[in-house]
């Protein structure tokens, strides 16, 4: 959901032969397709303070999940597997490590390695992704200010 590293960071890492581990490759759970506009997050859940997880932003960003779900249906995969397969297909030195608390989710995530996206599928997906504007900041202003983002 946050593609800024693709602009300068990834080309530099590629030139230097350095790998990349994307943080939160499932968009803090959003790209799994299990979060909708009715989602409620408890006070102990970090997402409860993240602007991107406000109801109006979840609703606005649903277009991204709908795209991923469509591809998941076509590929007989889960939305999480499609999101992870997309990351894996970018460069061989990009290795996503999704967080999980459940064995079944770990097994599901591992299945992403079996999902193959053909070059034309990747092209079409990247084209569609480039037209989606994500609503809501990744972090509350207080957190973003700490790291200058």
The string of pLDDT tens digits covering residues 64-77 is: 999 999 999 999 99
Band of residue 148 on the pLDDT scale cut at 50, 70, 90? low
In SS3 terms, the chain reads as CCCHHHCCHHHHHHHHCCCECCCCCCHHHHHHCCCCCCCCCCCCCHHHHCHHHCHHHHHHCHHHHHHHHHHHHHHCCCHHHHHHHHHHHHCCCECCCCCCCCHHHHHHHHHHHHCCCCHHHHHHHHHHHHCCCCCCCCCCHHHHHHHCC
**C-alpha to C-alpha distance for 149 and 16, rounded to whole angstroms:** 24
Band of residue 149 on the pLDDT scale cut at 50, 70, 90? low
Domains annotated for the chain, with CATH where assigned, are 4-10+21-143 (3.20.20.100)
pTM of the model: 0.92
**C-alpha to C-alpha distance for 26 and 113, rounded to whole angstroms:** 15
């Amino acid at each position: 959901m946050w593609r800024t590293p693709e602009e300068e960071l990834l080309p530099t890492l590629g030139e230097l032969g350095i790998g990349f581990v994307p943080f939160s490759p499932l968009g803090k759970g959003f790209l799994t397709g299990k979060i909708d506009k009715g989602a409620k997050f408890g006070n102990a859940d970090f997402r409860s303070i993240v602007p991107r997880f406000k109801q109006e932003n979840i609703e606005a960003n649903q277009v991204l999940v709908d795209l991923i779900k469509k591809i998941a249906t076509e590929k007989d995969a889960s939305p999480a597997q499609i999101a992870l397969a997309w990351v894996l297909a970018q460069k061989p030195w990009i290795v996503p490590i999704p967080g999980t608390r459940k064995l079944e989710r770990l097994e599901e995530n591992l299945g992403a390695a079996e999902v193959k996206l053909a070059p034309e599928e990747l092209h079409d997906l990247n084209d569609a992704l480039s037209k989606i504007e994500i609503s809501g900041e990744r972090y509350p202003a207080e957190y973003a200010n700490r790291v200058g983002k």
